[in-house]
Amino acid sequence: MFDCADVEMRELLPELAAGTLDDATRARVQRHVATCAECASELETLHLVRSAYAVAPTVNVQRIVAALPQPAPLAKHARVGHGVTRWIDWRVAAALTMISVGGLSLALVHRQSGEPAPRDSVAAVPTVDSQRVQPAERAVAGVSPSGAHDTTRPANPPGRVTAAARPKAQLVFAGGMEDMDDASIKALLGALDELDHAPVAPSEEPDPTPVLPVIGTSQP
């Protein structure tokens, strides 16, 4: 008793016997079986097994169906869908509230505390006096925007540039968002992004801002 060496054909024999092959594959396997004694013998065995187990007790379909649990009513699905929608609505409302409260709080904090905004961000805000927020190197060194020495403005001693020494930004947030045009909102959002990235150093701690050289001072 030998097995056919064509593994693919042999593996398809049960499906040929069960009638689950498509037409093209069935024809291909049948052609092989016609020329292969081993596969023909195995197919005969398969048919014998199938016929031996073909007789099965009949089942009463209606009795089984009557015993089944009831299908989920449509209303239940509808309630589920409504619940999901309500949950999403709640999340959207919460997110909008958080954004509104957070943005307003941030603006109020900046307005009331007088905390200067970092120089880079201030330059991007339209409401800021551009003459006062020129590059901090110039301000710290007492150099006017025009290049002349500005003796009216106190220059910090050489060393650190602290937050207190930075020019104050006039980050004004009067009224609501609806009062601002698109450009203003965009600029404000840019400024807020910059605030997130700007280093904030307590005055008593070393400021991470690099030491800037004093340019052209008349001090000895």
Partner 1 sequence: MTRMAQDHEPDDDSTDLELIARWNAGDERAATSLVARHAPALARFAVSLGQRTDVDEVVQDTFVRAFGSLHSFRADSSLRTWLFTIERRLILDRRRAARRRRDDASVDDADAATEFDALDEIVAEEAESRVRKAVDQLSRLQKEVFLLRVNEGLSYKEIAEIVGSTEGAARVHYHNAMRAVKESLYV
Backbone angles phi, psi at 16, to 5 degrees: -65, -45
**Nearest CB to partner 1, comparing residues 45 and 97:** 45
**Nearest CB to partner 1, comparing residues 39 and 133:** 39
**Min separation Cβ 84 and partner 1, Å:** 16
| 3-class secondary-structure state, position 159 | strand
Q: d(Cα 194, Cα 197) in Å, to the nearest integer?
A: 5
**Min separation Cβ 25 and partner 1, Å:** 5
Tell me the C-alpha to C-alpha distance, in Å, between residue 103 and each of 110, 126, 137: 11, 18, 31
**Nearest CB to partner 1, comparing residues 53 and 183:** 53
**Within 13 Å of residue 44, how many CA atoms lie on the same side as its CB?**
7
Q: How far from each other are the two terminal CA atoms of the chain, in whole angstroms? A: 112
Kindly list the residues in this chain that would bind partner 1 in the complex (CB under 8 A): 1, 3, 12, 14-15, 17-22, 25, 41-42, 45-46, 48-65, 67-69, 71-74, 77
Tell me the C-alpha to C-alpha distance, in Å, between residue 200 and each of 26, 130, 158, 177: 77, 22, 20, 27
**Nearest CB to partner 1, comparing residues 78 and 96:** 78
DSSP structural state of residue 152: T
Contact yes or no for 165/179 (Cβ under 8 A): no
Q: d(Cα 49, Cα 66) in Å, to the nearest integer?
A: 34
**Min separation Cβ 81 and partner 1, Å:** 13
**Min separation Cβ 35 and partner 1, Å:** 20
**Nearest CB to partner 1, comparing residues 43 and 136:** 43
Q: d(Cα 206, Cα 115) in Å, to the nearest integer?
A: 18
**Nearest CB to partner 1, comparing residues 20 and 130:** 20
**Min separation Cβ 6 and partner 1, Å:** 14
**Min separation Cβ 87 and partner 1, Å:** 19
